[in-house]
A and B are shown apart, each in its own frame.
Chain A
Amino acid sequence: MKAKAAIMATIWILISLGISYAEDGTFSGEVSVTGVIVDGKNDNAKFNEYRDIRTGVYGSADVQYQMLKDHVEFEAKDIGYNTQSYTLDAGRWDTFRMKLNYDEIPHNFTYDARTFYAGAGTNNLTFNGYPPGTNPNKWNTFDYSTKRKNAEGSLQLDMFKPFFLDLSANEQQKRGTYPIGVAGTSPGGISIEIPSFRDYKTDNIRVETGYRTKPYFFTLGYLYSQFDNGDGLQDFRNPATANTAVTTDTTYLPPDNDFQKFDFQGGVSLPYQSRFNVNLSSSRARSNSKLLPTSFADDVTAATSNIGVQGRTGISPSSPYFNGKLNTDNYNFVLNSNPIAFFDVKLFYKYLDKINKSDNINTVEGTEVLSNSLFDYIKNSYGLETGFKLPASFRLTAAYSYTQTDRQREDLPRNRDNLVDVNLKWSGLDFAVLKVGYENLHRSAVFNSPPGPVVDLEPWIRRFDAAPLYRDTFKASAEFFPVENLDIDIGYKFKRTSYTDTILGLTDSMTDDVNFNVNWQAHKQLLVYGYIDFEQIVNHQYQRQIGFGASPTPPYSPPTAAAFNWTAALNETTYAYGVGANISVIPQTLSLELAQNSVKSTGTVDLTYLLGSVPFPAGRNQDNIDLNPWDNYRLNDYVVKVVYQMTKIVALTAAYAYEEFSYDDSQYDGYLYYVPGSAGGYLTGAYNNSSYKTNIVLLGANIKF
């Protein structure tokens, strides 16, 4: 792939130069070479989660050729590394513009993960003998990592202005090894973490044409997107069964799909400084999948009772294939007007209709018949936004919107949202701008209690995504600029959500958010800056524990050892700060940059048994059950950078950076790869051990021409 990238880079350079020589112009750009030394435990995936920083030499270039009418730019970054990117941007003013781009994004999850499987990262995971060994030191090691490669090209034609034509196409590939989890048996039983493969390919093509002038415009667009995931199956040997077949189980991966969308957009200017805009689109997503892959035939003779162990036997779907089809229509209309100097208004209407036309499949599984429900929904939304310029430099904006959602869902089929938003801004002082705002959301919902006798806790559950709620949001901010070159910003936001009808589930949520920022050009040679951010999120949940198969009892029933209520108070506090200075030690010659950033988060879950006089389960009390630490982490980084402008065209850079990430969490502390028992499982170390400390030294040269 590196060779491919190098070839592409060379071709693009040649193209650039070819175009460049077509006409006399100005050649400019910069090339930099940077040597990097990484010291410390940089073998942690978290350090390089989306990066590729390692000991080596990094090169980048940005070359431009400007002519009177034509322009060409070629940019290359991190040449040869997992983060490499190349862009060629060329065109003729008012005529056309073309762009070619190639980009890679790594996503590293965990290095040196372990599994008893052979073939990690492939579609067939096996192991010898039964049961698999439980000593992870004897297991195979591998990395959880994926890489996304994106190649795209676009062409914009403007030579027939005001008509235009835009064409673009891209291909995204995502490959690597990714953790998924499966249940060994069903229901319950052991869990198995599987080093699955990712081999995604998505091709997109977009065409847009239209007519654009000042009084009006319209465009017609078409998008086609195709996602390819091979046969979408992950075969593996299930360690929950003694079956000696090489592979005894299969899990389904995302199916191939395609998507196409037609859209029309337009706008026209109207009297009274008004404008009417419209956006109409219709799209269709499809997927096709074989529900009973050929590999299933191996075990079709297994007993029905074996369902849940091998799972792929004893079922009979009404069709061997599933054809998924989802149509979406989306219509937007917006009329905005500024009829008088101190008043503006915007009226809008939005209609979004998702229609699920997928196959309805009935599967006979033992004595049960399963049927997929075809989820779809319609959203109707309308409202207005108004703005008033008031005396004494006040500006008031007020908005109201109503949204109704109707969805194919048993519990909460309808929502009605009323949203009011009011903001006041005062810019009456020469040295400050002050803003306050308030937003209120009232969501009502239609709730359908499950038909027939109560078989579960459904009558008391309101799922938060559609549950009735009141939400208040208060905002305040102030910008101060008491002297030139000094900016101070303070912001505060408070959001409180009460799920009014919820008895079981998320009952309320609260967020506090404060931020402070200062930028001061204290001297021509000195810029200092700093920021402090604080955020606290508190959620409360009210739950009821009922044993599997037990008859449900309402939440207001007296507690018993088998059926009782419990609560969870989730609290996460995050603060971040940073300080820095840019110092021009010798103007135009020597500069110094200093920076430090820090992010820290602490989380807890305060659990409470509501047992009344019922004794606590063995060994437990209200104080020793809480979850703490809960996604606790701290990220610190320090950077010192010196730039010496040796000549007008050559600059030398030396930098030192230290980065430290420490992570502590109850769910990962004391990590075990194998946990015995029916509630245990086989793990691989995914996401475990993400702490790191790393020193980085950079020495670079930059040539500008």
Chain B
Amino acid sequence: MKRILASLFLLFFLIVLSPLIMWGEEVGGNIELCKTCHQDRFNSYSKSVHANKGVNNSPANTYGCESCHGQGMDHIQKGGGKGAGGIFSFSDRKVSAAAKSAKCLNCHADSRGLSYWDISRHKSADVSCNSCHTAHSGKKMDLKASQPDLCISCHRNHKMQISKQSHHPILEGKVKCTDCHDQHGTFGTKMVKASSVNELCYKCHAEKRGPFLWEHPPVAENCSTCHTVHGSNHDKLLISRVPQLCQSCHDAAGHPSSIYSKFNTFQGSSPSNKMFARSCLNCHSAIHGSMDPSSRGEFFVR
């Protein structure tokens, strides 16, 4: 009986501890070997969170460089070089984005924020994790650059948009692209972090949330009816200038239908408060909604 118990104990010991013993042997992989040729890569890796042994399942606790780049022996035997011996290179343009991301998702699939990666526009557009992140860095989130430069490196036309005279303080570093967009995917269009455009805008502009006694329907339905998000040549990020913007909907008899020309500016012969300075907004200031129960509220002048 004692022999049986001893055998069972030994078996249990082997089953439980053998992986730990094996793991102990392989912790960190053959980093020293890789370092002999890739000292600069080793240095940058050492600064990154991936080199931190305090993080469970980090490469430092598993197979080191081989955790992401695959087995290195063939690579060494074939004399090194990009892709030699089947080594996995994240900078190889011929390797698909999906394959690159799969390497990262091996560990990060259940990470916070990656729940919707599968449905993200970035994934379907062949953006891989390493398009934005590097595994070798001491920078925040191991990003290759800070916002907005990182995002602009692909979304080129946004460079000019955020530089226009009317813009959110993105270039000033006070608003980040990721304040509104979830780069890893959401259900919303344009990967916005809300159920609707208005819900997103109200996060910072809660005063526009109402509900108002008098609602301005296009405003209540979609802020982007009148405003553009990234930048505009017109004040308040408007898609077009007032009065033309207002007149494109309001062509009622009376002043909304009038043609306002240079003659109605300060320097014209018939200056009109429907034209100069802030034009329609000189009076219709409550354009996002009004609580005045009178006709002045109905027409958003109070």
Contacts and interface: CB of A to CB of B under 8 A. Distances in A.
A, B assembled together? yes
A465 B225 contact: yes
Contacts of B270: 679
B210 A326 contact: yes
A464 B248 contact: yes
B14 interface: no
Contacts of A498: none
A686 B277 contact: yes
Given A461-B249, A463-B249, A324 B56 contact: no
Chain B contact residues, majority secondary structure: loop
Interface string B199-219: 100101011111111110110
Interface string B244-279: 100111011111011101110111011111111111
Interface stretch (B3-11, B33-41, B288-296): B288-296
Nearest to A334: B119
Interface in A249-297: 250-255, 257, 259, 265, 267, 275, 277, 279, 281, 283, 285-287, 289, 291-292
B199 to A, nearest CB: 8
Given A506-B248, A545-B257, 19 more contacts: A94-B55, A181-B283, A181-B284, A190-B273, A259-B206, A289-B291, A328-B199, A375-B217, A456-B253, A505-B248, A505-B251, A517-B156, A541-B247, A543-B257, A625-B262, A628-B262, A635-B165, A666-B265, A672-B276
A470 interface: no
Given A286-B211, A344-B124, A543-B259, A307 B294 contact: yes
B120 to A, nearest CB: 10
Interface in B149-197: 156-157, 159-160, 163-165, 169, 172, 174, 187, 195-196
A2 interface: no
Interface string B226-256: 0000000111000011001001110111110
21 contacts: A162-B110, A186-B299, A200-B207, A202-B206, A277-B119, A285-B209, A286-B211, A328-B199, A330-B195, A332-B187, A346-B119, A407-B221, A515-B160, A539-B240, A541-B247, A603-B233, A603-B241, A670-B265, A680-B273, A681-B282, A686-B278
Interface in A618-676: 619-620, 624-628, 630-631, 633, 635, 661, 663, 666-672, 675
B275 A633 contact: no
A105 to B, nearest CB: 5
B19 interface: no
Contacts of B288: 254
A102 interface: no
Given A93-B54, A574-B233, A607-B261, A164 B112 contact: yes
A491 B296 contact: no
B298 interface: yes
Interface string B100-138: 000000000110100110110000101000000000000
A603 B160 CA distance: 16
A613 interface: no
Candidate in B119, B209, B247, B254 with the most chain A CB atoms within 10 angstroms: B209
A363 B290 CA distance: 14
A365 B174 contact: no
A180 B285 contact: yes
A356 B213 CA distance: 11
B302 interface: yes
A277 B119 CA distance: 8
Given A311-B296, A666-B265, A671-B277, A255 B164 contact: no
B73 interface: no
A207 B153 CA distance: 34
Given A69-B54, A325-B211, A576 B160 contact: yes
B293 A315 contact: yes
A227 B217 CA distance: 22
Candidate in B93, B172, B253, B284 with the most chain A CB atoms within 10 angstroms: B253
B233 A631 contact: yes
B187 A279 contact: yes
A451 interface: no
Candidate in A187, A308, A546, A666 with the most chain B CB atoms within 10 angstroms: A666
Contacts of B293: 291-292, 315, 317, 322, 361, 363, 370
B210 A324 contact: yes
A67 interface: yes
Interface string A305-335: 0011001100101000010111010101010
A330 B196 contact: yes
Nearest to B114: A212
Contacts, number: 378
Given A352-B196, A461-B249, A620 B163 contact: no
Contact of B273 (A51, A601, A675): A675
Contacts of B169: 49-50, 105
B71 interface: no
A227 B207 contact: yes
Contacts of B234: 631
B119 A667 contact: no
A626 B262 contact: yes
A548 B253 contact: yes
A317 to B, nearest CB: 4
A190 B277 CA distance: 13
A491 B301 contact: no
Contact of B291 (A162, A213, A291): A291
A250 B64 CA distance: 69
Contacts of B206: 172, 200, 202, 225, 227, 257, 259
A552 interface: yes
Nearest to A373: B215
Contacts of A322: 213, 291, 293
B279 to A, nearest CB: 6
Nearest to A598: B163
A478 B222 CA distance: 33
A620 B253 CA distance: 22
Nearest to B301: A183
Query: For this complex, into which size category does the number of interface residues on chain B fall?
Result: 35 or more
A217 B114 CA distance: 11
A677 to B, nearest CB: 8
Interface stretch (A135-143, A520-528, A565-573): A565-573
B154 to A, nearest CB: 9
Candidate in B54, B222, B251 with the most chain A CB atoms within 10 angstroms: B251
Contacts of A609: 259
A563 to B, nearest CB: 9
Given A186-B299, A550-B253, A324 B213 contact: yes
B258 to A, nearest CB: 5
B115 A570 contact: no
A177 interface: no
B109 A214 contact: yes
Closest 4 CB pairs of A and B: A324-B211, A548-B254, A50-B169, A625-B261
Contact of B164 (A94, A156, A541, A601): A601
A350 interface: yes
A183 B209 contact: no
Interface in A25-53: 49-51
B281 interface: yes
Given A69-B54, A183-B283, A456-B253, A675 B276 contact: yes
A69 B278 CA distance: 57
Nearest to A328: B195
Contacts of A686: 277-278
B240 A570 contact: yes
B294 to A, nearest CB: 5
Contacts of B84: none
Nearest to B252: A456
A533 to B, nearest CB: 4
Interface string B45-73: 00000001111100000000000000000
B118 A493 contact: no
B209 A572 contact: no
Nearest to A68: B54
B76 interface: no
A248 interface: no
B217 A409 contact: yes
